A = this chain, B = another copy of it.
Amino acid sequence: MSGRLRLGIAGLGTVGVGVIKIIRREAQMLTARTGVEITISAVSARTRDKDRGVSLSGYDWEDDPVKLATREDVDVFVELMGGSDGPAKAATEAALKAGKDVVTANKAMLAVHGQALAELAEAQGRVIRYEAAVAGGIPVVKALTEGLAGNAITRVMGVMNGTCNYILTRMESAGLPYEEVFEEANQLGYLEADPELDVGGIDAGHKLSLLAAVAFGTRVAFDDMELEGIGRLTIEDIRAAADMGYRIKLLGVARMTGRGLEQRMSPCLVPMTSPLGQLEGGTNMVVLEGNAVERIVLRGPGAGEGPTASAVMGDVCDIARGLRIPVFGQKAETLVAAVPAKSVTPAAYYLRMTLQDKPGALAKVATVLGEAGVSIHRMRQYDHEGGGAPVLIVTHQTDRQSLDVALSAMDKTGVVETRPVAIRIEEV
Contact = CB atoms under 8 A, between A and B. Distances in A.
A48 B242 CA distance: 56
A142 B146 CA distance: 9
Interface string A143-184: 100111111100000000000000000000000000000000
Contact of A275 (B299, B306, B314): B299
A151 B275 contact: no
A377 interface: no
A32 B153 CA distance: 14
Given A146-B139, A299-B296, A329 B152 contact: no
A321 B325 CA distance: 7
B139 A313 contact: no
Q: Which among A18, A32, A152, A314 has the highest number of chain B CB atoms within 10 Å?
A: A314
Interface in A29-57: 29-30, 32-35
A307 B293 contact: yes
Given A314-B146, A318-B146, A306 B323 contact: no
Contacts of A304: 294
Contacts of A322: 324
Contacts of A301: 293-295
A123 interface: no
Contacts of A138: 296
A147 to B, nearest CB: 3
A229 interface: no
A300 B307 contact: no
A59 to B, nearest CB: 18
A4 interface: no
A32 B330 contact: yes
Nearest to A323: B323
Interface in A295-315: 295-301, 304, 306-307, 309-314
Contacts of A408: none
Interface string A336-354: 0000000000000000000
Q: How large is the interface on A (under 10, 10 to 19, 20 to 34, 35 or more residues)?
A: 35 or more
Chain A contact residues: helix, strand, loop or mixed: mixed
B293 A149 contact: no
A18 B32 CA distance: 36
A296 B139 contact: yes
A101 to B, nearest CB: 15
B147 A139 contact: yes
A306 B146 CA distance: 16
A150 B294 contact: no
Interface in A264-299: 275, 278, 290-299
A292 B304 CA distance: 10
Given A137-B293, A306-B292, A147 B314 contact: yes
A18 B292 contact: yes
Contact of A33 (B294, B297, B330): B330
Contact of A22 (B26, B30, B217, B292): B292
A246 to B, nearest CB: 17
Contacts of A309: 150, 292
Contacts of A331: 35
A179 to B, nearest CB: 30
Contact of A143 (B32, B143, B316): B143
A307 B292 CA distance: 6
B314 A148 contact: yes
A320 B205 CA distance: 32
Contacts of A294: 137, 300-301, 304, 306-307
Given A307-B292, A316-B150, A33 B139 contact: no
Given A33-B149, A137-B296, A298-B299, 7 more contacts: A26-B152, A137-B293, A138-B296, A139-B146, A143-B143, A292-B306, A321-B325
19 contacts: A26-B150, A30-B150, A33-B217, A34-B149, A137-B293, A137-B296, A148-B314, A149-B314, A149-B318, A275-B275, A275-B299, A290-B310, A292-B307, A292-B313, A293-B300, A295-B301, A297-B297, A297-B298, A299-B299
